[in-house]
Amino acid sequence: MISDPEAVAALERADALHTALTHIVLEGGDLAAIAQAVGDALGCGVVFTSTDGRERAAHLDDAQREALAGAELLDPTGRLRVERIDPEGTAVGTGEALLRRVVAAGVDLARLVALRPDGRIHSSDVQALERAAIVAALLVTRVEAITAVENKYRGDFLRDVFLGRAGEEEYVAEHAQAFGWHLGRPVMVVVAVLDPDAMAALGPDPEDRRAWQDRFAHAWRQVSATVDPTIASVAFSREVVTLVPVDPSGDPADAHVGVDRIIAAVRGDRGGGRIAFSAGVSRVSHGLGDLPEAFRQAQRAVEIGRRVHGGSSVTRFDQLGLHRLLALVPDGSELTAFAADVLGPLAERTPEAADLRETLQVLLDTNFNVAEAARAQFFHYNTMRYRVGKLQRILGPVATDPHLRLDVAVALRALEIVG
């Protein structure tokens, strides 16, 4: 017979939770119902998140959220910093929070976080939480199977819209409304891709890549829905496409601010295993007929932005400048050949050539002001003069011939495009 009153109370709570979870499973409840049942039975705050901490369902009051924030367990975008919460318990004020993984068939699905700000969580309650995690895993598996089919159908439909083969505009608008989307309004198309270098550094297998892509797409859908539930956001094979609405009567700068806010929320503080990504942003699409071109603009922007600015870049089509025209050249070898013809040995992939190209770009940026270029590269004036002479021996009179200077500037941009 158990004589410890606290242990007896914990067993009673576990029994009440078991009954509640059974009803939830039989009635087809969701994560929010599980969170509430756990919170009510155990007298604690409960949060279900994605594996990287994006909230999916919660049973928390304002004081409990403030306690998490005070313990620096919430980032500015609201992401729960699950990577900082120990399965054995992490101090939150005078209480603690602990974490349990939600796993099914070896697949990492979600996180369950329990919080008691005014005391420790009893060991019997921990066992009850593990039981709740198992029930949550069953539910998440079922929901994700259904969601995967729905998202594929939605993605196929939006791809047909971008290819101009989805049908008449009236039909497309009605079909989009069935998904809860509003497509017939001014939008900016945003194409986001996980940075290949960031993924390669982690050495993933194909299953990891699929999991990361699914998590990435879910983050975009979740963040977009909090801004406007009628935003269309779908995952293609290697990219996530989101149509961010624009106020046609507002300041164009405000539209970019709205896009940046969504991107910042998806990115979070990059904790919890979040992987760096790049994004491309189109011009404003004013209707369904403009969407195919806007999609192509966003694709070109993210591709060129990654090549020119590296990973984690956000590139707007309107900011591509000369790169925009060069990207229209269908044959990359033509750009490479042009750069080689103009730059000669400076087009080679060697450290020395790259160093001289950097100096050449600085000279172009300063209108061949030797003193200013020397200061920009922290060279002695005579060193920069020597470099100017060496560049002119290779290229010709680039300092004085405006036509040659234009060719050289374009060739340098071409090299950035072809990588």
286 in Cβ contact with 189 (< 8 Å) = no
What pLDDT score does 77 carry?
80
The gap from C-alpha 63 to its chain's centroid, in whole angstroms, comes to: 30
For 125-156, write each residue's pLDDT tens digit: 888 888 889 889 988 888 888 888 888 899 99
Identity (one letter) of the amino acid at 40?
D
Residue 121 carries which DSSP code?
Answer: P
Identity (one letter) of the amino acid at 313?
S
Q: Determine the Cα–Cα distance for residues 77 and 57; give it in Å rounded to an integer.
A: 16
Q: Tell me the residue length of the chain.
A: 419
Instruction: Show pLDDT as tens, one digit a residue, over the chain (419 residues).
Output: 445 666 666 677 777 777 878 888 777 788 899 999 888 888 899 999 988 888 999 999 999 999 999 999 998 888 899 999 999 999 998 999 999 999 987 788 899 999 998 888 888 788 888 888 988 998 888 888 888 888 889 999 999 999 988 888 888 988 999 999 999 899 999 999 999 888 888 877 787 788 888 889 988 998 999 899 999 999 998 899 999 999 887 777 777 888 999 999 898 776 766 788 999 999 999 989 999 999 999 998 998 888 778 788 899 998 887 777 777 676 778 888 988 999 999 999 899 998 999 999 999 999 999 999 999 999 999 999 999 999 999 999 998 999 999 999 989 888 887 76
What pLDDT score does 184 carry?
86
Q: Which of 248, 245, 238 is nearest to 191 (CA)?
A: 238
Q: Which of 97, 92, 117, 105 is nearest to 49 (CA)?
A: 97
Q: Determine the Cα–Cα distance for residues 310 and 197; give it in Å rounded to an integer.
A: 10
The gap from C-alpha 201 to its chain's centroid, in whole angstroms, comes to: 17
φ and ψ at residue 49, rounded to 5 degrees: -130, 170
Residue with the two structure tokens 């160093």: 355
Q: Determine the Cα–Cα distance for residues 395 and 404; give it in Å rounded to an integer.
A: 8
Q: Determine the Cα–Cα distance for residues 390 and 375; give it in Å rounded to an integer.
A: 19
Burial letters 59-96, b for 16+ CB under 10 A, else e: bbeeebbebbeebebbbeeebbbbeebeeebbebeebb
